[in-house]
Amino acid sequence: MQMKPLVGVTADRTMMGPLPSHVAGEKYLAAVVDGAQALAMLLPALGDRQAPDDLFAHIDGLLFTGSYSNVEPHRYGGHASAPGTLHDAARDATTLPLMRAAIDAGIPVLAICRGFQEMNVVFGGTLHQSVQTVDGYDDHRENKEDDLDVQYGPSHALHLMQGGLLQKLAGGASEVRVNSLHGQGVERLGDGLTVEAHAPDGLIEAISVTHARAFTLGVQWHPEWKHASDTLSTAIFRAFGTACRERMRMRTGSAAAASAHV
């Protein structure tokens, strides 16, 4: 029986009644299992109580999920958030150091929505906290009163950078359509990041790490939603899964070689 790679999926810390709990949306887990053809493992937001090196000995990829919470602005030198803004300090303390360590270690990374914003912050970039209030940008938020299929339906065009990773995954297309469910967005691009795509208003919608050792892609939209029915979404998860399988071969091969010399 062929082994499958193991992908860690980041969790939000939230309260369920009086108890702190760690959760991730099923759509992310299902996209890893069905789209990347991998096993999915939930990673709790426990900060430095779980060492990256211990984790990396067992996993073959990391998926950084979207979230209703925003990255705390002190993480990138931003001004205080508007009253009522949802934050998740435990997630920030977990995902920000974990992402950088994973990329440096050559772990495949796919970062979606909040994960995309985390990637920019990790590399020293900054965020617009409310894109819709910034002159020149459109309102990229969904209407929460719409049905989910409408919220996650195609919302705007995406202009792909010529010769980029994302354009290759899109079969060479210069433009596709994606959904849009976010209030935050990239303000200043982080150092060492490559822009992969823009929205029509110029907002950066996809990035990669210029000199990453393995597959590393951040996207502002939600390719996990009905991934199998969208050509680009299918290609993104397939490429992520392929990179995770290569990582698994390297990891298990090294382990087997080490045990053979004991």
Q: Which amino acid is at 120?
A: N
Burial class (CB in 10 A: 0-12, 13-18, 19+), 26: exposed
Provide DSSP, 160-195.
EPTT-HHHHHTTT-SEEEE----S-EESSPPTTEEE
Please indicate whether residue 159 is annotated as part of the active site.
no
CA distance 205 to 168: 16
Catalytic annotation, pick one of 140, 182, 222, 227: 222
Please indicate whether residue 128 is annotated as part of the active site.
no
SS3 for 127? strand
Provide DSSP, 54-122.
HHHTT-SEEEE---SSBPPGGGTTPPPPPTT--B-HHHHHHHHHHHHHHHHTT--EEEETHHHHHHHHH
Please indicate whether residue 261 is annotated as part of the active site.
no
Q: Which residues pair with 6 in a beta bridge?
A: 39
Catalytic annotation, pick one of 22, 72, 113, 182: 113
Q: Which amino acid is at 45?
A: A
Spatial CA neighbour of 117 closest among 75, 56, 179, 176: 75
CA distance 22 to 192: 31
Catalytic annotation, pick one of 72, 142, 224, 227: 224
Catalytic residues, by residue number, are: 113, 222, 224
